[in-house]
Structure 1
Amino acid sequence: MQIAQDCVALIDYTLTNDAGDVIDSSQGGEPLAYLHGHQNIIPGLEKALAGKTAGDSLKVSIAPAEGYGDKNPSLVEQVPRHMFSGVDNIEVGMQFHAQTGGGMQVITVSAVDGDTITVDGNHPLAGETLHFDVTVKEVRAASQEELDHGHVHGVGGHHH
């Protein structure tokens, strides 16, 4: 069976950046299970996997536009330290949930300068070219429940 709309695919993958540093990997764990065509993974990887079958391997580089997007400078802002009430030690790299006009968003502390904290609402991989080394482990038809919910259930997927 080929990976196509409404199929479940299980993949082993290693994700690296331009420097070759491993960012994420399924090695040593369960394969990643996703529902093809339902925005469960980044668009560029989903496009690259279309038509593949169990046993296929591929290496693909995904440009920011097909990954997590380009960095948006308007999502970086400086805020006063008092906005982090209850947090005594604020450090670069810390992440917080913030309520924004677009809903709940994860922000990352990118700089600390006295009482001024710079936060970044971009995805940590925004602006990065992503390099995937992928092996397709399994392809199957999705259950009706998976289609109704828009994601995979069971091994490697979501558990209700």
Structure 2
Amino acid sequence: MQAVKSGDTVRVHYHGRLTNGTTFDSSEGRQPLEFKVGAGMVIKGFDNGVLEMKVGDKKTVNIPVGEAYGPKNEEMVMDFPKSNLPADLNPEVGMELQMSNPQGQVFPVKVVGVSDEFITLDANHPLAGEDLVFDIELVEIV
């Protein structure tokens, strides 16, 4: 039976959770995730986790921060003047917003603080700084 190698396109079902058991994503009830192994389409630890699996195999992969979304970068936490917000926006901690950089790229940010004059925004990936655990089932090597 063929084992997964770099360059293969695979389909997997997965259940992703934090080390405390909190689920952050799952393919349950959806089509399997399809990606090309080694092409950078998924985080490094997930990519490496499917190597050598055979169709029907199930395994649990523990992915450290460095092979997931990396550590939190404090330079990506910034204060933004409330006076630059749309008048009808009432920011609250936990709210997710979209910003754009000078090149026009849009990226998500999360409100992590609100004061009289500023809101504090975090542009880190929501899973940055987290070790991750994935239960993976290899459905198909395409």
**Aligned-CA RMSD value:** 1.7
> Residue in 1 aligned with 2:117?
115
What amino acid sits opposite 2:60 in the alignment?
A: K
Structure 2: runs of 5 or more not aligned: none
Aligned residues: 140
Residue 60 of structure 1 is matched in structure 2 by 61
Q: Partner residue of 1:89?
A: 90
Question: Who is 1:10 aligned against?
Answer: 11
Residue 105 of structure 1, CA deviation: 2.6
Q: Deviation string for 1:19-67 (max 9, x for gaps)?
A: 1011110112111111111111100110111121111111011111100
- Please, what TM-score do these two structures have when normalized by structure 2? 0.89
Q: CA deviation at 1:93?
A: 2.3
Counterpart CA distance in 1 for 2:60 and 2:41 is 19
Runs of 4+ in 1 over 6 A off after TM superposition: none
What's the counterpart of residue 138 of structure 2?
136
Determine helix, strand or coil for the equivalent of 1:59: strand
What SS class does the counterpart of residue 74 from structure 1 fall into? Answer: helix
Residue 137 of structure 2 aligns to a residue whose secondary structure is: strand
The reply to whether residue 71 of structure 1 matches residue 72 of structure 2 is yes
Q: Quick one: which amino acid aligns to residue 95 of structure 1? A: E
1:75 partner amino acid: M
CA distance in 1 between partners of 2:29 and 2:127 (Å): 23
**In the TM superposition, what is the alpha-carbon distance from 1:7 to its structure 2 partner?**
1.5
Residue type of the partner of 1:132? F
Change (3 A) 1:50 1:87: farther
TM-score, scaled relative to structure 1: 0.80
| Correspondences of 1:12-27 after superposition (within 5 Å) | 12-27=13-28
Structure 1 counterpart of 2:13, which letter? D
| Structure 1: gaps (5+ residues) | 141-160
Identity of aligned residues (%): 31
Matches of 2:139 and 2:88, distance apart in 1: 44
